[in-house]
């Protein structure tokens, strides 16, 4: 295994490990680096069969990168939503004159019975 291939393998492993640990920003940096390394490697490959295999690997790594990017942006949107909700009314996000939305599956409290 050449030094470039070993480095690609190691960096791919690191990108995956960081993603598994939830460190998505670092993971994305590793994935970007791996994709660039593969791109550089492809320019030096003359054998069409080997070149095709590396193009397939690059595509698979790019797909993983997109998945990690999607997870990262979804988490960022949750954090943004959470930050916005902290600035709402302390009554759970309802405005002063707004009725909370009723859940149709939850029964309202019973009407008090008058005893005569």
| Structural domains of the chain, ranges and CATH numbers in brackets | 3-85 (1.20.58.80)
pLDDT of residue 82: 74
pLDDT of residue 90: 53
Going from the first residue of the chain to its last (116 residues), give the mean pLDDT of each consecutive group of 10, the final group possibly shorter: 87 98 97 97 96 97 97 90 63 55 70 76
| CA pair distance 8, 34, nearest whole angstrom | 6
| CA pair distance 80, 1, nearest whole angstrom | 45
Question: For the purposes of burial, counting CB atoms within 10 Å of the CB of 71, is it exposed (0-12), middle (13-18) or buried (19 or more)?
Answer: middle
């Amino acid at each position: 295994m050449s030094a470039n291939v070993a480095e690609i393998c190691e960096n791919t492993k690191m990108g995956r490990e960081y993603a598994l640990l939830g460190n998505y920003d670092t993971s994305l940096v590793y994935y970007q680096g791996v994709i660039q390394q593969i791109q550089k490697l492809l320019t030096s490959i003359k054998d069409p069969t080997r070149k095709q295999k590396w193009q397939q690997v690059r595509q698979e790594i790019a797909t993983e990168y997109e998945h990690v990017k999607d997870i990262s942006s979804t988490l960022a949107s949750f954090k943004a939503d959470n930050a916005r909700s902290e600035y709402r009314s302390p009554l759970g996000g309802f405005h002063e004159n707004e009725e909370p939305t009723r859940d149709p599956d939850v029964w309202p409290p019973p009407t008090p019975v008058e005893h005569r």
